[in-house]
């Protein structure tokens, strides 16, 4: 009798992993990039990120309470969304209205409005209205970033380049174009590839240090939270595409140009932390490779031929929309199933 087989319902293979543990690991992995952003941009970055995280948790709590659902803010998923959104924003700092320097109440309110409205869009529109965690059709933080770029184009493309301590002799920050923006318009770049790799450049709070993001990515791979497959193929596709462009454009191979394309902008942040989102990326190995190649190709096309110097966010969102189709045609057939 002891050798009888026990028949039970699926799932038959279980894991000790939980949403809370996974999301906590993502937060830990983002700490290096967050700290670099805080150091480079100062209080403005701290203000932006904390407001974004707090708003995301608040809107998730309010929505789930209002709809009489189970409140799940303890699973860290809303905090991760808020953190990713905050790291995708420029360092914003409220400026007190002053007629002498032309600042108005709008200048004071916009830095509050951007993280709050972005978090509301990410949590309520992209995530909750489609069924909550596990049902969103695109990455909530990237969806919110696209919404904010359309709604606050000027503020979302104003990049601080010095530590913004509030206040500093009446000057809150100094702004400049990003490296990709300078490349786009063939302007001289006053930063080296090493600066881009370490993080002493202008850009969004969490995207400036490729080194910090890679450290976080290695942590996630070691913890088996993500696979190396999507980040490596995504980044590798951009590297190959950019190299081919240089060779066929007649200008010759330029290692600095390639380094800027890989280490500046949102490539590392997007490839490691957002393209690997469980819900909005394919389930199969073949599907993940197709997805990552598509992200890399679209990113390269936008950067080289589009009117916008950065293409990572749009590439991931576009490929998110193709995931159901990719899954449909890459899921292995059951044994004996006809083609």
**pLDDT tens sequence across 46-74:** 999 999 999 999 999 999 999 988 888 89
- Tens of pLDDT, residues 196-240: 899 888 889 999 999 999 999 999 999 999 999 999 999 999 999
Grade residue 148 by pLDDT with cuts at 50, 70 and 90.
very high
d(CA 337, CA 339): 7
- Segments making up each domain of the chain, as ranges: 19-330
Q: How far apart are CA 38 and CA 50, in angstroms?
A: 11
Could you read off the pLDDT of 77-128 as tens digits, one per residue? 999 999 999 999 999 878 777 766 777 887 788 889 999 999 999 999 999 9
Helix (H, G, I), strand (E, B) or coil at 292: helix
Distance CA(181)–CA(211), nearest Å, equals 21
Residues 287, 328: Cα–Cα separation, whole Å: 9
How far from each other are the two terminal CA atoms of the chain, in whole angstroms?
Answer: 42
Among the residue ranges 2-6, 79-83, 182-186, 314-318, the one predicted with the least confidence is: 2-6
Task: Give 2-51 as a 3 state SS string.
Answer: CCCCCCCCCCCCCCCCCHHHHHHHHHHHHHHHHHHHHHHHEHHHHHHHHH
- At 320, phi and psi to the nearest 5? -55, -40
- Whether the ω angle into residue 216 lies within 30 degrees of 0, i.e. cis, is no
Range of weakest confidence among 127-141, 147-161, 258-272, 288-302: 147-161
Q: pTM for the full model? A: 0.88
Candidate from 39-43, 142-146, 227-231 with smallest mean pLDDT: 39-43
Q: What is the domain class of 19-330 according to CATH? A: mainly alpha
């Amino acid at each position: 009798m002891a050798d009888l087989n026990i028949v039970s319902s699926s799932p038959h293979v279980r894991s000790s992993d939980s949403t809370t543990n996974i999301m906590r690991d993502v937060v830990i992995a983002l700490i290096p990039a967050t700290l670099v952003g805080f150091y480079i941009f100062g209080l403005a970055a701290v203000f932006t990120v904390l407001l974004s995280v707090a708003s995301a948790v608040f809107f998730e709590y309010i929505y789930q309470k209002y709809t009489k659902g189970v409140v799940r803010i303890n699973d860290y998923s809303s905090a991760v969304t808020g953190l990713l959104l905050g790291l995708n924003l420029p360092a914003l700092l409220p400026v007190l209205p002053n007629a002498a320097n032309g600042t108005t109440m709008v200048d004071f309110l916009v830095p509050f409005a951007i993280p709050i409205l972005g978090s509301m869009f990410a949590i309520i529109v992209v995530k909750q209205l489609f069924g909550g965690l596990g049902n969103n059709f695109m990455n909530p933080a990237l969806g919110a970033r696209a919404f904010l770029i359309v709604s606050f184009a000027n503020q979302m493309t104003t990049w601080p380049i010095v530590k913004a301590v509030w206040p500093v002799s009446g000057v809150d920050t100094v702004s400049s174009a990003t490296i990709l923006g300078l490349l786009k318009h063939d302007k001289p770049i006053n930063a080296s590839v090493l600066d881009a790799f370490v993080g002493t450049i202008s850009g969004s709070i969490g995207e400036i240090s490729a080194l910090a993001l890679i450290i976080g990515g290695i942590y996630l791979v070691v913890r088996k939270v993500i696979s190396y497959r999507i980040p490596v193929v995504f980044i590798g596709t951009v590297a190959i595409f950019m190299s081919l462009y240089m060779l066929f454009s007649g200008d010759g191979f330029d290692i600095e140009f390639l380094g800027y394309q890989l280490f500046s902008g949102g490539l590392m942040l997007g490839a490691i932390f957002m393209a690997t989102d469980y819900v909005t990326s394919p389930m199969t190995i073949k599907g993940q490779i197709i997805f990552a190649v598509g992200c890399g190709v679209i990113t390269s096309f936008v950067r080289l031929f589009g009117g916008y110097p950065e293409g990572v966010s749009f590439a991931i969102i576009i490929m998110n929309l193709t995931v159901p189709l990719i899954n449909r045609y890459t899921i292995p057939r059951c044994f004996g199933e006809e083609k």
